[in-house]
Structure 1
Amino acid sequence: MALFEMKWLRRFVRRNTSPIPEHRADLWKRRLSIGYAILAWQAFGLVCYMVYTGRNDWAKYYGYKTEDELSLSPAQQFARHVKVEGTGKIIRISGFSKVEEVPFDSSTIDRVKD
């Protein structure tokens, strides 16, 4: 839902602010878009740098993940994170074909204390 599709919010903003000239609004829109572009480019550069230096898994790099957590597949880590109870199957799919099917039992995976 877009921000101004909420009619009550639109009414609140229009009631409590005064209109500004169109040229000033356009000027600030351009300034903010340039600032956003610079910020996004810097964030992209930081991500590329972290991947290049081998720190793309920052939790592993800084020692926040234990060896037990690293031995789990991403699907098992996610199931553990959302606290799935009981047993089931984890199915890995590539394209339109099933690659692997692994049984999953939440009681065999130790829970991390929150």
Structure 2
Amino acid sequence: MAKADRLERLDVRREELELAYREALIAALQTTASGKWGLFDHQKDKAARAKAAPIVADLCDTADEIDDLRTTLGLERFALHQDFMAARGPVSSDAVGEPKQARAWLDRLGVPA
């Protein structure tokens, strides 16, 4: 019984962290959609990268904690973070800009314009 209670508490904590991650990601995406570059790290702009770095670091830290809990609970890794990290980095010159990409992410997450 104690193990079941412990696992239930871990699962509740996982859900709380996933919600916090989602809210933080949405806030960052909304900022990016409004025209601030750096979240997706598409350009080699050191200033934009530096401004986004704490946000990305916080998202990564939260995702690491979520993944630790998911591993303990026998669940797969946190897909939202994996998808976000895969969307970051250099892109071709004809790729959409970060604000448009952020808007597409917000649409995907069901956040109205």
TM-score normalised to structure 1 length: 0.34
Which structure has more strand as a fraction of its residues?
Answer: 1
Higher relative contact order (CA closer than 8 Å, sequence separation 6+): 2
Greater C-alpha radius of gyration: 1
